[in-house]
Amino acid sequence: MSSASRTTLTLLGLALGAGMALPAHAVEPLDTFSVRVSGYLNRFDTDVRADGNTSRGNEINLKRDLGLDDNKAIAYIGATWRPFDHHEFGIGYYRNDLDNTRQLQRQFEFNDTLYEANAVVRAEYDFKAYELNYVWWAASHENWALGPRLGLVWYSINLGLSVQVDSGGNQVSGSRSNEVSADLPAPTIGGSWRWSPADQWRISADVGYFSANVQDVDADVTFGRAGVEWYPWERFGFSLDYTLSHIDAQATKNNFRGNFDFQDAGVRFGVAYRF
């Protein structure tokens, strides 16, 4: 290769590198405002027991007994706002709806209805989560911040079962159906931490726990999240975090009486805007 060719390739490489290089800038531990839109790859494990008016139901697992296995990414949107230096508010929302038709492997009772082994049942599950939180950043420094956190996740749940074919192999006309729904508040008390170890990068974590009786729901709630953010541009960047929520609730509400043991865990990857 000639000297001129090598010089040309070197100049092209330098020009390409200069074009792709992004100026370094410091990302503060806290934002005044931020919004994130993510794809949530979640895995859930849910046990439900629905008691009827005359009898206690059996505990069923949505995956093992009904074949409701989440294998898709769902959308998540969240935002934070810090109107004052040490006070931050956050909101979030996501929804997951699943359905499946399968032949039951065992007999169980659900909301005063007996579902026999070998019957073909269609299950429909709709799950919504509304998140609210408040953080008082008691310690706020140049590259890290720490403070207590109050959180609330409001779960709206609907589970419907309908028999398509009975245990004797006979088609059920009109499909015999049964449905329960519940709103389960899950408050937590814990802490939040933010750290900017280098330009363009931020690491964060939130934890919480609570055990109380709220609106006829006696629940133990655990929440945790850890994540990393990268901002190659000053305002726009990418986020990756892992979340875990667990609620074990005993409800005595009019539209749902029974037990709901739910664990939701997964990875969120998305884009973020901040200032």
pLDDT at 174: 63
Alpha-carbon separation of residue 40 from 47, 52, 101 (angstroms): 21, 34, 25
Phi-psi domain of 4 (left: phi exceeds 0; alpha: psi -120 through 50; beta: other)? alpha
pLDDT in tens, 95-153: 999 999 999 999 999 998 999 999 999 999 999 999 999 999 999 999 999 999 999 99
Domains of the chain, first to last? 43-274 (2.40.128.90)
Copy the structure tokens of residue 178. Answer: 């049964």
Mean pLDDT (the chain, rounded): 88
pLDDT in tens, 184-202: 888 999 999 999 999 999 9
Q: Which 3 state secondary structure label does DSSP give 200?
A: coil
pLDDT at 11: 38
pLDDT at 245: 92
Provide φ and ψ at 31, rounded to 5°.
Answer: -105, 155
Quickly list H helices, 67-204: none
pLDDT in tens, 5-23: 444 344 334 433 433 445 5
pLDDT tops 80 at residue 4: no
User: For the chain, where are the E strands, in sequence order?
Assistant: 33-50, 60-61, 73-84, 87-103, 108-110, 113-115, 120-136, 139-140, 144-165, 171-198, 201-214, 217-230, 236-252, 257-274
